[in-house]
């Protein structure tokens, strides 16, 4: 830490906001690394802050204006992310989450990795909260909650030549009077030259009363990971289709189709096994098994894993989502009923960490698949052929 | 084309956005012409891009931030447009279209020419779409759709000394995952020294599935065209009042009152005749028949013509709308039932062109009225005294 | 006035907008005074204009972007305002007033003094208005109306060395076609070296038809005025609890608790007495009676006085609101029924003035309490133990 450096890009309390800056390898003290920040202008991206991190072979862009989501990435020549029908990044001022019956979030959705939460996520629906008079009243929660459309009030870049780590820190508040008061403190870190990044998050209940939390990391991939014959590999203990539409695909729930015009999404809910240290992983590998993207995390932090298959035509959004979370993306009222909504005591924090790793050759892919097989060894797999009432409303 | 030039003002894909620029006649290669672009600041206009085109006698301002609508114009000393109770141009960030029961669009409405669409336009109302699971579900469509509150991601200025044409090109996407995916490609052109501009639009279905389209050009005029004794002249085949309120005005449906405090709008739906080339026109001429504004277009492109009379007090919005469209501005569900919603196949385009022409002397006005009479010759006029179920819900 | 000066900071009609400026005492011609304007960037405050006025011992910040509300103040070492769970000032682009069943206003609420209005304020609820066809139709009004989330189109700073007054003028329109058309003209003035500021407002009905008006000055205080043992002192003629929750606190309705986790708000409605000149005042004094904040105004301008007690934990928003208004903050439909909605004839104005005064020593506090006792002398106090149907829906 002796040689660690840091630069504040945003600190609203002190009226600090840097419109444009680049830190090159000399300044960072990290070879082949750079961090640059710009404020985008024009179109739907007008006013969006974007931080581009390059650690050598891996680069990725972070969006302070969209809840510190990760817009796109690239590993060597491989793009990380997907091609959404909306071309962003989209400033929240152009997103009305109440639109289209609570599905307005979709108008801003084109990130590689986007958090869903913090007070709620999942399908829109009615929910009972307490009003300013302490009486229960019913509100309509919108798809995937607010965090992706809230701007960070604090952003910092750090580099440490000793550890070779480069980090972007951010703080985003989802808080108001008579509303939940949750703060996201996030750190996105990668090591110079590595093929991975790690998201370390802490969600603090700022209030003096208990608060609920739902958190999903919606990690989205198109090609070249997603393609005909691609497969989700994970140490599954149990899997169930969300609904009848998903049930019809059970014979190939872990396999992917090529772009298929008119394809209607299929969603599967998983319980995954963990290794002896408590870690699990989900891997999307391509058809020829020479590329893979892996998500690694502690099972106890993010006990629910959702696979979203949306192999529609390229122009309609050819994408799959691997979604570790505290819950499944059903309506919050259903998740609460199933005991999958986190409750934070006053000032309590929830911490979790998610590592995304990219494999770009056959041996790496084979190794990671072997790792999963090792975790899976001896585990009984339970594959439900129809929706299970523990996982989804039937 | 040999001497044609072009300048990109916005291209979000390449992170191009010009905050402020002026092209004078030398640069354009067009005498007495200029194009300038500014980004407005403060009040409701904060952040709105505005492009001012002057072709000599005619000038007009285009709003990339508001779907490439045309805010105001001027021909010699004559203002083109109207005085809305909201003083814009209004940035979409200040417009919540869901407000006031789906009438929030009105909070941004002060343009001379504004498109209503693209997925829907007309009165707010429920509509059935397919959700992400392919199941029908009901959404509330808001007044006049989204396009006027969406920013262009691409804007270009072109001039051609050979043809003497000056153009502003724009692209605006109304698109998102699980939502319609329509792209507006528009070109607003006028010839140096002319008294007209032409809007050439192409709407592309970006998706691999069929998409619906509704498109109305809401062209709005206050004084000096609109005044007591002003008249709508058009080669009408059929006209019907929208509702009982409009029906009471059938004796003078084509005539206008002076500003009338407390006046409640009257709306008439028209079927117009076309000339042998398929073109029709609608003309608003003033009381003394020495000024007129004409809309020319191909009848088959925009088969429906709506006249919106709102001759309220000046301070309440003294205005009439001449509105050629693919449909009438009823709720989309009614228009679909009547077969007036366009269906675009995957990647299919809808093209249409609208020319606005200004006459500022008696002989020009007489000539254009004669032109209409020529088209009308021999046409049977059917004037409905009460609402007709083909045109409006009765 | 001979030496008076003025500077325009915003005038959208003339495309005037100053991003950043400071006027020091020399320029103002006022000793120890300054006015500075900045445009905030980053986080929820991105794009908010803020004007900081310092008159010597008193300073305060005005928010043109939020309807000319007053964000925070400071008198000598004493902060004026409160600590909201949302850290603003919040740009309206991040506030969706329809959210949370019409309570979205709370997402922007952290001002010291914020206007609620102009067409409506108070609790959200259904209301019947006339649509564009002159027919009654039902809209959902949102909490506290629109004015706090509308930007000023005109802002001016004035100083007058002769009178020693420093003023900030602003104009904000709440207007659109087929909607109410109200203009706020406000002037916030203070004398160099004084301990007070005065808000002088005029609300004009811009339309040619009658318009309704509701206006409340929501003046909010945390510590050091608010603390355990603090008290609201006012010349009360009558007081009633809003609801059963408030009724349970009648024994101490005018006293305040220290921060109390889990406290649920209590609201009291007052009728106050006035002095012979027609003026009344409400005073919040701290526990040891050496600090007080006073609101002075003409009773006939703002006949209704509301006390909002929200002595929750600091982190949840420890705050009390003293709220003089034309009405009580019930739903507009209830207030209309009780005859407490102002009706403005075409072009008619409503004027009112509110002075906020800070006392920071025992003798000042004693004097202002004595002033209230003088007004109160001989007045019969009616203290309702339960909600009164004239004041709140029971």
Please, which pLDDT band fits residue A1 given cuts at 50, 70 and 90? low
CA-to-CA distance for A19 and A129, rounded, in angstroms?
A: 39
**pLDDT exceeding 70 applies to what percent of chain B?**
100
Cα nearest neighbour of A67 on chain C: C43
Strand partners, A16: A11
CA-to-CA distance for B347 and A27, rounded, in angstroms?
A: 48
Please, which pLDDT band fits residue A105 given cuts at 50, 70 and 90? very high
pTM of the model: 0.97
ipTM (interface pTM):
0.96
CB A179 within 8 A of CB A189: no
CA-to-CA distance for B212 and C32, rounded, in angstroms?
A: 65
Which alpha helices (H) appear in chain A, and where do they start and end? 25-28, 99-102, 244-247, 314-317, 332-337, 362-376
CA-to-CA distance for A246 and A255, rounded, in angstroms?
A: 13
**pLDDT tens readout for residues C262-302:** 999 999 999 999 999 999 999 999 999 999 999 999 999 99
Question: What is the mean pLDDT of the segment spanning B125-130?
Answer: 90
The 8-class DSSP code of residue B12 comes to: G
Residue C205 has pLDDT above 70, yes or no: yes
Q: Does the beta-carbon distance from B207 to A313 stay under 8 Å?
A: yes
Q: So what's the pLDDT on residue C132?
A: 75
Q: String of b and e for B153-183 (b: at least 16 CB within 10 Å)?
A: bbbbbbbbeeebbbbbbbbbbbbbbbbbbbb
**pLDDT tens readout for residues B280-319:** 999 999 999 999 999 999 999 999 999 999 999 999 999 9
Q: So what's the pLDDT on residue A311?
A: 98
Question: What is the mean pLDDT of the segment spanning B339-365?
Answer: 98
Q: Does the beta-carbon distance from A43 to B93 stay under 8 Å?
A: no
Q: Does the beta-carbon distance from C315 to A177 stay under 8 Å?
A: no
Q: So what's the pLDDT on residue C176?
A: 97
Residue A134 has pLDDT above 90, yes or no: no
| Structure-block tokens of residue A220 | 């989205």
Instruction: Give which of B43, B108, B143 to mutate to test C binding, by max C Cβ within 10 Å.
Output: B43
CA-to-CA distance for A282 and C170, rounded, in angstroms?
A: 57
Average pLDDT, chain B: 96
**Nearest residue to C112 via CA among C10, C193, C20, C223:** C223
CA-to-CA distance for B5 and A231, rounded, in angstroms?
A: 50
Residue C150 has pLDDT above 90, yes or no: yes
CB B166 within 8 A of CB B30: yes
Residues of B in contact with C348 (CB under 8 A): none
Q: Does the beta-carbon distance from B313 to C173 stay under 8 Å?
A: no
Please, which pLDDT band fits residue B147 given cuts at 50, 70 and 90? very high
Dihedral sign of CA atoms A257, A70, C92, B86 in order: negative
HEC-encoded secondary structure of C143-174: CCCCHHHCCCCEEEEEEECCCCEEEEEEEEEE
- Tell the burial category of A17 from Cβ atoms under 10 Å away from its Cβ (0-12, 13-18, 19+): buried
Which residue's structure tokens are 């890009």? A9
State the span(s) of chain C assigned CATH 2.70.98.10: 1-207+342-353, 216-325+361-394
**pLDDT tens readout for residues B13-69:** 999 999 999 999 999 999 999 999 999 999 999 999 999 999 999 999 999 999 999
Please, which pLDDT band fits residue B1 given cuts at 50, 70 and 90? low
Tell me if the bond preceding A224 is cis, omega within 30° of 0.
yes
Please, which pLDDT band fits residue A379 given cuts at 50, 70 and 90? confident
Residues of C with CB under 8 A from a CB of A: 38, 40-47, 84-87, 93-94, 96, 98-101, 103, 106-107, 109, 243, 245, 261-262, 264-265, 310, 312-317
Residues of A in contact with B184 (CB under 8 A): none
Number of alpha carbons in the 13 Å side-chain half-sphere of residue C283: 26
What is the rounded end-to-end Cα distance, in angstroms, of chain A?
A: 53
CB A233 within 8 A of CB A296: no
Expressed in percent and rounded to 5, the helix, strand and coil fractions of chain B are: 15, 45, 40
Q: So what's the pLDDT on residue C313?
A: 97
CB C121 within 8 A of CB C144: yes
**pLDDT tens readout for residues B224-236:** 999 999 999 999 9
Q: So what's the pLDDT on residue A133?
A: 77
For residue A56, is it left (φ>0), alpha (ψ between -120 and 50) or beta? Answer: left
Instruction: Give which of C145, C177, C184 to mutate to test B binding, by max B Cβ within 10 Å.
Output: C177
HEC-encoded secondary structure of A307-357: EEEEECCHHHHEEEEEEEECCCCCCHHHHHHCCCCEEECCCCEEEEEEEEE
Which residue's structure tokens are 């989802």? A174
Q: For residue C314, give how far its alpha carbon lies from the nearest alpha carbon of chain A (Å).
A: 8
**Nearest residue to B67 via CA among B137, B142, B172, B144:** B172
| Structure-block tokens of residue B241 | 């009042």
Q: So what's the pLDDT on residue B134?
A: 76
Q: What residues contact A8, with CB distance under 8 A and at least 6 apart?
A: A16, A18, A154, A155, A156
**pLDDT tens readout for residues A282-335:** 999 999 999 999 999 999 999 999 999 999 999 999 999 999 999 999 999 999
Which residue's structure tokens are 């009381």? B287
Strand partners, C279: C298
Q: So what's the pLDDT on residue C137?
A: 84
Q: Beta strands C236-241 and C382-383: pairing type?
A: parallel
CA-to-CA distance for A63 and A40, rounded, in angstroms?
A: 11
Residues of A in contact with B177 (CB under 8 A): 84-86, 106, 109, 310, 316-317
One DSSP character per residue, C305-340 reads EEEEEEE--HHHHEEEEEEEESS-SS-HHHHHHTT-
CA-to-CA distance for C370 and C382, rounded, in angstroms?
A: 20
Which residue's structure tokens are 């056959």? A362
Residue A249 dihedral angles phi and psi, to the nearest 5°: -105, 15
Residues of C in contact with B243 (CB under 8 A): 133
- Could you tell me which CATH number the domain at B5-383 has? 2.70.98.10
Residue A132 has pLDDT above 80, yes or no: no
One DSSP character per residue, C18-77 reads -S-EEE-HHHHT-TT-EEEEEE--SGGGTT-EEEEEE-SSEEEEEEGGGTTEEEEEEETT
Number of alpha carbons in the 13 Å side-chain half-sphere of residue C164: 9
CA-to-CA distance for C190 and C213, rounded, in angstroms?
A: 27
CB atoms within 10 A of CB A87: 16
Q: For chain B, what is the largest distance between any 2 Cα atoms, rounded to a whole number of angstroms? A: 61
**Nearest residue to B92 via CA among C229, C93, A74, C139:** C93
**pLDDT tens readout for residues A189-199:** 999 999 999 99
Q: So what's the pLDDT on residue B133?
A: 77
Average pLDDT, chain C: 96
Tell me if the bond preceding C41 is cis, omega within 30° of 0.
no
Q: Does the beta-carbon distance from B93 to C92 stay under 8 Å?
A: yes
- Could you tell me which CATH number the domain at C1-207+342-353 has? 2.70.98.10
Report, at the CATH architecture level, how domain A1-178 is classified.
Distorted Sandwich (2.70)
Question: What is the mean pLDDT of the segment spanning B382-394?
Answer: 95
Q: Beta strands B304-311 and C216-221: pairing type?
A: unpaired
Residue C300 dihedral angles phi and psi, to the nearest 5°: -70, -25
CA-to-CA distance for B172 and B158, rounded, in angstroms?
A: 18
**Nearest residue to B298 via CA among B189, B198, B186, B177:** B198
Question: How far, CA to CA in Å, does B141 sit from each of A116, B93, B119, B219, C253?
Answer: 26, 19, 10, 22, 47
Q: How many CB pairs under 8 A join B and C?
A: 114
Question: What is the mean pLDDT of the segment spanning B357-380?
Answer: 94
Q: String of b and e for A173-208 (b: at least 16 CB within 10 Å)?
A: bbbbbbbbbbbbbbbbbbbbebbbbbbbbebbbbbb
- The CATH number corresponding to C216-325+361-394 among 3.40.47.10, 3.40.50.280, 2.70.98.10, 3.40.50.300 equals 2.70.98.10
CA-to-CA distance for A237 and A346, rounded, in angstroms?
A: 34
Residue B390 has pLDDT above 90, yes or no: yes
CA-to-CA distance for B317 and B313, rounded, in angstroms?
A: 6
Cα nearest neighbour of B50 on chain C: C15
Q: So what's the pLDDT on residue C1?
A: 62
**Nearest residue to B270 via CA among B231, B324, B319:** B324
**Option in B41, B47, B96 nearest C97 (CB):** B96
Q: Report the C-alpha dihedral over residues A73, A77, A81, A84, rounded to 10 degrees.
A: 120
- E strand or H helix that includes residue B332: helix B332-337
């Amino acid at each position: 830490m002796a040689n660690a450096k840091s630069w504040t890009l945003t600190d609203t309390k002190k009226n600090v906001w840097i419109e444009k800056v680049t830190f090159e390898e000399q300044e960072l003290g990290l070879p082949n690394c750079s961090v640059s920040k710009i404020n985008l202008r024009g179109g739907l991206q007008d006013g969006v802050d974007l931080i581009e991190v390059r650690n050598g072979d891996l680069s990725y862009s972070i969006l302070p204006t969209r809840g510190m989501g990760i817009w796109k990435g690239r590993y060597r020549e491989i793009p990380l992310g997907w091609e959404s029908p909306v071309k962003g990044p989209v400033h929240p001022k152009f997103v009305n989450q109440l639109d289209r019956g609570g599905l307005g979030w979709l108008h801003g959705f084109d990130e590689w990795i986007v958090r869903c939460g913090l007070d709620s996520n999942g399908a829109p629906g009615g929910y009972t909260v307490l009003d300013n008079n302490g009486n229960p009243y019913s509100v309509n929660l919108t798809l995937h909650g607010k965090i992706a459309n809230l701007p960070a009030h604090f952003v910092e870049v750090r580099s440490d030549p000793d550890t070779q780590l480069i980090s972007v820190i951010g703080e985003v508040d989802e808080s108001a009077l008579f509303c939940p008061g949750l703060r996201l403190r996030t750190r996105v870190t990668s090591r110079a030259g590595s093929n991975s990044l790690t998201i370390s998050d802490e969600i603090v209940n700022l209030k003096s009363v208990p608060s609920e939390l739902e958190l999903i990391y919606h990690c989205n991939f198109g090609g070249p990971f997603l393609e005909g014959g691609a497969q989700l590999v994970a140490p599954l203990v149990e899997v169930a289709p969300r609904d009848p539409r998903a049930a019809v695909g059970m014979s190939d729930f872990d396999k992917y189709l090529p772009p298929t015009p008119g394809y209607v999404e299929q969603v599967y809910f998983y319980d995954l096994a963990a290794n002896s240290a408590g870690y699990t992983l989900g891997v999307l590998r391509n058809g020829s098994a020479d590329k893979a993207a892996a998500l690694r995390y502690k099972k106890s932090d993010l006990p629910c894993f959702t696979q979203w298959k949306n192999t529609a035509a390229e122009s309609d959004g050819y994408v799959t989502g691997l979604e570790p979370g505290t819950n499944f993306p059903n309506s919050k009222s259903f998740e609460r009923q199933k005991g999958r909504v986190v409750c934070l005591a006053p000032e309590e924090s929830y911490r979790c960490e998610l590592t995304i790793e990219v494999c770009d050759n056959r041996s790496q892919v084979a190794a990671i698949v072997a790792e999963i097989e090792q975790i899976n060894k001896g585990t009984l797999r339970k594959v439900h052929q129809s929706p299970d009432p523990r996982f989804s409303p039937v």
